[in-house]
Structure 1
Amino acid sequence: MAAERLAARTHTPLRFLVASLLALLLARPTLACRCVPQTLDHYFERADLVMVARTVSTRIVKGSPDFRTAEFAPVQEPYKGDPKSIVAFATHLSSASCGVPVEAGQMFLIFAARDEPGGTTAWFDSCNGTRPFGPDVKVVDFVDTPAEKILLRLEGLRTANAVRDPSANPGGPRLPKPGHPHAELIGLLELVTVLNLDEPGASSPPPRLPSAVIEVMASPESGAAVVAQIRLPTDIITRELDYERKAAVVLEQRAAWYRIALPHDRSGWLSARLAGPFHPFAELIVNRLSYLTAHWDGWIWPDPGAGNPVNANVKQSEGRHEYPVNVRGTQDLAGTLWLQVEILSASPCEGGSPKTVISGWVPAYSPEGKLTAWFYSRGC
């Protein structure tokens, strides 16, 4: 009736066109579920439970709207979460609402999310990564993972998820938070006017340079409050780049600003225009005379954040805090910096040709943000 009344008030040449358009709109079928495909890692991170399971039974529950519940039997160890803590798995009945048409006997790769924190009902749908799975179906690829490598990637994600929670894996490997928010160092920054000085002797007073004053700000912006003035090397926390070549310890970088470490657990921001070159840790550590520190947990990974880590069994010597390595490369994976290392049987400084005991990958930082590797700036 609404279409007819609108058409009646329209001039004859337009009446047919308006009525036709309204008819098309009114007759348009309900749109199917649409969502942007995501990476396997994305689906895994958002899910409370990830598993490959076979459907035991299903039933339709009348409500507003109707939905379907299903009972699943895992066919192997779940990759994330405990299915025994879930009383009911639920999905929308309508495909327009991204419901999954499950039937008894079908096998699925399931990504399910609890309806509320600690809840016993977990929802799954075609937009959260859930899909038919198994040898009898053509498994749909993820945008970053082909079908034949899905299980291998899930194994890596399961391991990484477990080691991020020490209580779930006491004594096992641990990973830092992505982005290293509490890193003790992300790189070294040269301050030419202050730090390119000969080190004074123990009995000599440090040189004073009244004309070379560098201001450190409270925030990364011009006009911010000054929290420190650098006149001497002792005014900041430094480490050596090379023999007697010191540089400022950088804790954070934002655009053209560096947050540097100051004495007494303080820090402040320095404009890049007042500084010399910046040396990121990921570049500093490669192909140097390096060692793993006491903050390394003793575990080594076959790939960055993937595969099953193994205990290198080299942290048995009491009182030993440095473990000689060759660092061959680095890789940033989802905000976590990894080091490709070869752990050596002895330090090259001890003479001879040390052998590689084991090789693989280690996270560059401990969960507390401490460096797991460093180098001898002065050589042997």
Structure 2
Amino acid sequence: MALLDVTGITDPAGKRLCSWRSETPSATLCATLEHDYEAVSLLVYRTSGEGWFEIALDGQGKARGWVKSSPRATFRPLAVLFRDRLTYLTPSWDRTLAPKPGGAAAPGAPRPALKQPEPAVRVKSTATVRGKLWLEVDILDGVCGQSDSPKVLSSGWVPAHSQADGRLVVWFYSRGC
């Protein structure tokens, strides 16, 4: 058990597991991401039943627990978060594109030759295969002021989460360009 309060998450013995914002330089921040300008949400790893969410009880997402949502809470699925956003491929992307959701790149298939470490993408659609979310993306030549209609450099499917480290493969600039 743990207690969620206005400053973070605390274990039953009163030890602070993580904080919403830095209380001290050594404070461990809870596992959150900014989803809009200066608006953050707890990471939700799984949902179950009516309003139950599995969340991280620490900053790394190693200790997890289930919390019942309040009627005021808003759950934002990844597929919805990516609509009309300035999305990009994160460093957790393995630089491959699959021809279909849940698939793998063909052996020896060329990897897109990209100059940007976090290439801009457009999320076109989503699919769930064997319980894992996949995203169909167009890799673009840029999105921030370079052109009203960016050029598509490559297209394919990527898993929402890296198999190597479990981190998000696609994210977005919550504060714009």
Indicate which of 249, 252, 270 corresponds to 2:46.
252
Give TM-score, length-normalised by structure 1. 0.37
Can you give the 5+ residue segments of structure 1 that lack an aligned partner in the other structure? 1-193, 195-211, 219-224
Q: In the alignment, what sits opposite 1:359? A: 155
Alignment root-mean-square deviation, CA: 3.2
Q: Which amino acid aligns with 1:233?
A: W
Question: Is 1:239 paired with 2:33?
Answer: yes
What aligned pairs does 1:231-380 form with structure 2 within 5 A after superposition?
233-234=20-21, 236-255=30-49, 256-265=51-60, 266-273=63-70, 276-306=73-103, 309=106, 310-315=109-114, 317=115, 320-345=116-141, 347-352=142-147, 353-368=149-164, 369-380=166-177
* Contact in 1 for aligned 2:34/2:174 (Cα 8 Å): yes
Higher strand share: 2
Q: Which amino acid aligns with 2:150?
A: P
Distance 1:287 1:314, change over 3 A: farther
Distance 1:277 1:355, change over 3 A: same
Q: Which amino acid aligns with 1:313?
A: P
For residue 150 of structure 2, give the secondary structure of its aligned residue in structure 1: coil
Give TM-score, length-normalised by structure 2. 0.73
- Report the CA distance between 1:264 and its aligned residue: 4.6
Q: In the alignment, what sits opposite 1:172? A: none
For residue 371 of structure 1, give the secondary structure of its aligned residue in structure 2: coil
What aligned pairs does 1:173-252 form with structure 2 within 5 A after superposition?
213=6, 233-234=20-21, 236-252=30-46
**Residue-pair matches, total:** 160
Higher helix share: 1
Distance 1:226 1:262 in 2: 14
- CA displacement 1:81-105 (0-9 Å, x = unmatched): xxxxxxxxxxxxxxxxxxxxxxxxx
- CA displacement 1:22-81 (0-9 Å, x = unmatched): xxxxxxxxxxxxxxxxxxxxxxxxxxxxxxxxxxxxxxxxxxxxxxxxxxxxxxxxxxxx
* Contact in 1 for aligned 2:8/2:30 (Cα 8 Å): no
* Contact in 2 for aligned 1:217/1:270 (Cα 8 Å): no
- Report the CA distance between 1:268 and its aligned residue: 3.5
Distance 1:376 1:321 in 2: 15
Distance 1:228 1:249 in 2: 21
Distance 1:341 1:226 in 2: 46
Q: Choose between structure 1 and 2 for higher RCO, CA contacts under 8 A separated by at least 6 residues.
A: 2
Distance 1:356 1:249, change over 3 A: same
Moved over 6 A (4+): 226-230
- Report the CA distance between 1:355 and its aligned residue: 0.3
* Contact in 2 for aligned 1:343/1:359 (Cα 8 Å): yes
Q: In the alignment, what sits opposite 1:29? A: none
Distance 1:349 1:294 in 2: 19
Distance 2:13 2:64 in 1: 11
- CA displacement 1:160-217 (0-9 Å, x = unmatched): xxxxxxxxxxxxxxxxxxxxxxxxxxxxxxxxxx9xxxxxxxxxxxxxxxxx658969
Q: In the alignment, what sits opposite 2:24? A: none
Can you give the 5+ residue segments of structure 2 that lack an aligned partner in the other structure? 22-28
Distance 1:342 1:277 in 2: 29
